[in-house]
């Protein structure tokens, strides 16, 4: 069993923001606080959609920290940060829907490892593999958001958690064309490196440790 803290990848500014906001909402949702439950319901409507397509959500996601960060000065930089933050939060809200275990784990699986866990043992589920390949091959941001939504729906069904803070940083990086291949490589590397362990506790039962090996898919 691998301790979480030993393999934790450092976060960038976008991942740090997403981690903080999801932790707050996730705690409220798991405590059945009405405000958190209502916020998740509104966020879910944005999963797989462009940030500007759902005006109701604009005030739900606090981008103040990113707006004040000099590295995000300029419209293009702010748009990339906003896209990644919005996508990660709305996908997590979809993933967390009605689940009573935390679907975001800062020290959990990356995207490739989580998808690989959908497959039984050492077998490759071809329909799942094809969905994952479609994510990696997404030619545009809009296509990527839709394809990630499809994968997250599968993860929700099996209650397989994901490190959404890491994903947020990767989605931010993905928007730089010259760095996109590194994100794809990281997702593929994580997928192929994942190895289930036979003495696996139920996902979410113990937040202090991971139950499978998943080298962090950091580009």
**What residue ranges do the domains of the chain occupy?**
13-193
Cβ atoms within 10 Å, residue 53: 11
Q: Report how far Cα 186 is from the mean position of its chain's Cα atoms.
A: 14
Using the predicted structure, report yes or no on whether residue 114 has a pLDDT greater than 90.
Answer: yes
pLDDT at 66 over 80: yes
Question: What's residue 14's pLDDT?
Answer: 96
| Residue 3 in this model has a pLDDT that exceeds 70 | no
The pLDDT value recorded for residue 147 is: 97
How many other β-carbons are positioned within 10 Å of the β-carbon of residue 87? 28
Q: What is the pLDDT of residue 108?
A: 87
CB 182 within 8 A of CB 130: no
Classify domain 13-193 by CATH architecture.
Orthogonal Bundle (1.10)
pLDDT at 208 over 80: no
If residue 4 lies in a helix (H) or strand (E), which one and from where to where? helix 4-7
Residue 115, both tokens? 């998808």
The predicted-structure confidence for 23-32, as pLDDT tens digits, reads as follows 999 999 999 9
Mean pLDDT of the chain: 86
Measured CA to CA, the distance from residue 151 to residue 134 in angstroms comes to: 10
Instruction: Give the contacts of 143 (CB within 8 A, at least 6 positions apart).
Output: none
């Amino acid at each position: 069993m691998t301790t979480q803290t030993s393999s934790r990848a450092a976060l960038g500014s976008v991942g740090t923001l997403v981690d903080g906001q999801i932790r707050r909402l996730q705690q409220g949702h798991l405590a059945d606080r009405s405000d958190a439950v209502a916020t998740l319901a509104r966020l879910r409507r944005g999963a797989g959609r462009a940030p500007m397509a759902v005006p109701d959500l604009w005030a739900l996601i606090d981008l103040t920290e990113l707006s004040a960060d000099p590295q995000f000065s300029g419209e293009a930089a702010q748009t990339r940060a906003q896209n990644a933050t919005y996508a990660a939060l709305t996908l997590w809200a979809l993933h967390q829907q009605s689940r009573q275990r935390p679907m975001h784990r800062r020290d959990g699986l990356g995207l490739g490892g989580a998808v690989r866990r959908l497959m039984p043992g050492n077998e490759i589920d071809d329909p799942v593999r094809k969905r994952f390949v479609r994510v990696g091959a997404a030619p545009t941001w809009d296509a990527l958001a839709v394809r990630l939504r499809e994968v997250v729906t599968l993860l929700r069904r099996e209650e397989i958690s994901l490190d959404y803070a890491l994903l947020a940083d990767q989605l931010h990086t993905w928007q730089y064309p010259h760095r996109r291949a590194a994100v794809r490589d990281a997702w593929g590397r994580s997928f192929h490196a994942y190895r289930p362990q036979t003495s696996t506790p139920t996902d979410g039962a113990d937040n202090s440790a991971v139950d499978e090996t998943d080298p962090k898919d950091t580009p």
